[in-house]
Amino acid sequence: MSTDLLIVGTGLIGTSIGLALRDQADVALSDRDPATLAAAVGRGAGRPWDGTERFRLALVAAPPSAVAEVMTRLQQVCPDAVLGHVASVQEPVQSALTAAGVALDRVCGSHPMAGKEQSGPQAASADLFVGRPWVLCPSPATSAEALDAVRGLVQACGAEPVVLSAAEHDAAVALVSHLPQVAASAVAALLERSGARPAGAVPALELAGPGLQDTTRIAGSAPGLWVDLLRHNAAAVAPLVHDLVAELSSAAAALDRLAAQPGDAGAAAQVEGLISRGNVGRSLVPRKRGGHDRDFAVVSVAVPDRPGQLAGVLVSAAQTGVNVEDVRVEHLPGRPTGVIELLVQPAAQEHARQALRAAGWDVTGP
């Protein structure tokens, strides 16, 4: 007996791939933890692998430090198969595979630029990769057949393949993924201090709004996996963290000066410069495939905290011919109102505002 696809490591990513492909391929699953494997099988991501059955393609979705050992074992079972992995760092995994003597012509590394701060099969979803970039990192030895096989899997999951060298990939994720993780964790770690307060005072964190939610969302990530990632990409991440420290030190020095002398124009200009450069950086962050914040105008609608408000706003937008490019919802449970932000083409902003007001919605702003 043989299978189309073997997935080794049935956590968040492995189970999501199984769920995405279960209607297109015969998927076998393996995990070193029997309970995790059973949970992935229970979610319908595939059937258990018996350890000997042959396969055409195997994807290793275990932590980066486990990839070389798993692939060594897989090549003993099935030397002709193509092997892929999804590790969030690529160069160290390529080096480990070379050191382990894995036949690299059959191997193509890859990294789906999609994920969650939760891990494990329970957090998996079939549409995790839809419309997301998925980086393919062939080594110089990777055969065209191996690259095509992994590219086909990526496309079957609904993702968009992007080919980069392992070094290019690792430098890019240091900036767009690993630096934000360190920064979010550092901000969230400071919140532990909020416990100390005078008796009877409102706990500071009860005043928190969406800004703190957004800034610290990824601080909920699993420490074990992140230590593995940061250890492997430390050389690329460390200089960026030093740059961040320099930004923060200069902001702290300016704030010290403002605390001593609120009218210090030089210090105020320094703080303004940081916020302005942040505006520029933020505008460069993609909001949706091929689109950026700067390409869209925002229409904000204040809504009561009741079920069905988002659907109601979107139905009104559709009925009045407003083409919504993207949606953001700022809402905290227990708060009386939330804000729905519709991103529209700039030329459509005024029409959208008037049409939604005419439909009875509380459109904020001019």
Ligand X SMILES: NC(=O)c1ccc[n+]([C@@H]2O[C@H](COP(=O)([O-])OP(=O)(O)OC[C@H]3O[C@@H](n4cnc5c(N)ncnc54)[C@H](O)[C@@H]3O)[C@@H](O)[C@H]2O)c1
Window contacting ligand X (CB under 6 A); options: 9-17, 243-251, 272-280, 357-365: 9-17
Window contacting ligand X (CB under 6 A); options: 8-16, 155-163, 233-241, 322-330: 8-16
Nearest approach, Cβ of residue 49 and ligand X (Å)? 10
Distances in Å between the alpha carbon of 62 and those of 13, 22, 33, 178, 225? Answer: 9, 19, 11, 18, 10
Under the criterion CB under 6 A, does residue 112 sit at the interface with ligand X?
Answer: yes
Nearest approach, Cβ of residue 169 and ligand X (Å)? 12
Under the criterion CB under 6 A, does residue 230 sit at the interface with ligand X?
Answer: no
Question: What is the token pair recorded at 292?
Answer: 């950026």
- Cβ distance to ligand X smaller for residue 56 or 116: 116
Under the criterion CB under 6 A, does residue 86 sit at the interface with ligand X?
Answer: yes
Distances in Å between the alpha carbon of 86 and those of 23, 158, 215, 250? Answer: 21, 15, 26, 38
Window contacting ligand X (CB under 6 A); options: 46-54, 76-84, 115-123, 156-164: 115-123
Q: Compose the 116-145 pattern: x for residues touching ligand X by CB under 6 A, - for all others.
A: x--xx-------------------------
Residues 175-194, interacting with ligand X (CB under 6 A): none
360 CB-near residues (< 8 Å, 6+ apart)? 316
Under the criterion CB under 6 A, does residue 111 sit at the interface with ligand X?
Answer: yes
- Cβ distance to ligand X smaller for residue 11 or 46: 11
Q: Which of 84, 92, 109, 115 binds ligand X (CB under 6 A)?
A: 115
Under the criterion CB under 6 A, does residue 61 sit at the interface with ligand X?
Answer: yes
Q: Does residue 85 contact residue 106 with C-beta atoms inside 8 Å?
A: no
d(CA 106, CA 56): 11
CA terminus-to-terminus distance, the chain: 67
Window contacting ligand X (CB under 6 A); options: 26-34, 96-104, 137-145, 358-366: 26-34
- Cβ distance to ligand X smaller for residue 169 or 353: 169
- Cβ distance to ligand X smaller for residue 176 or 318: 176
Nearest approach, Cβ of residue 96 and ligand X (Å)? 12
Nearest approach, Cβ of residue 229 and ligand X (Å)? 6
Q: Classify strands 54-60 and 2-8 as parallel, antiparallel or unpaired.
A: parallel
How many Cβ atoms from other residues are within 10 Å of residue 193's Cβ?
8
Question: What is the token pair recorded at 136?
Answer: 């393919």
Under the criterion CB under 6 A, does residue 64 sit at the interface with ligand X?
Answer: yes
Under the criterion CB under 6 A, does residue 62 sit at the interface with ligand X?
Answer: yes
Q: Does residue 301 contact residue 342 with C-beta atoms inside 8 Å?
A: yes
Under the criterion CB under 6 A, does residue 36 sit at the interface with ligand X?
Answer: yes
Distance of CA 344 to the CA centre of its chain: 24
Question: What is the token pair recorded at 326?
Answer: 């993207």
Q: Which of 5, 6, 7, 12 binds ligand X (CB under 6 A)?
A: 12
d(CA 280, CA 291): 15
34 CB-near residues (< 8 Å, 6+ apart)? none
Q: What is the 3-state secondary structure (H, E, C) of 212-253?
A: HHHHHHHHHCCHHHHHHHHHHCHHHHHHHHHHHHHHHHHHHH
Nearest approach, Cβ of residue 119 and ligand X (Å)? 3
Q: Which of 66, 153, 157, 164 binds ligand X (CB under 6 A)?
A: 66
The residues that touch ligand X, with contacts defined as CB under 6 A, are: 8-14, 31-33, 36, 61-64, 66, 70, 86-88, 111-112, 115-116, 119-120, 225, 229
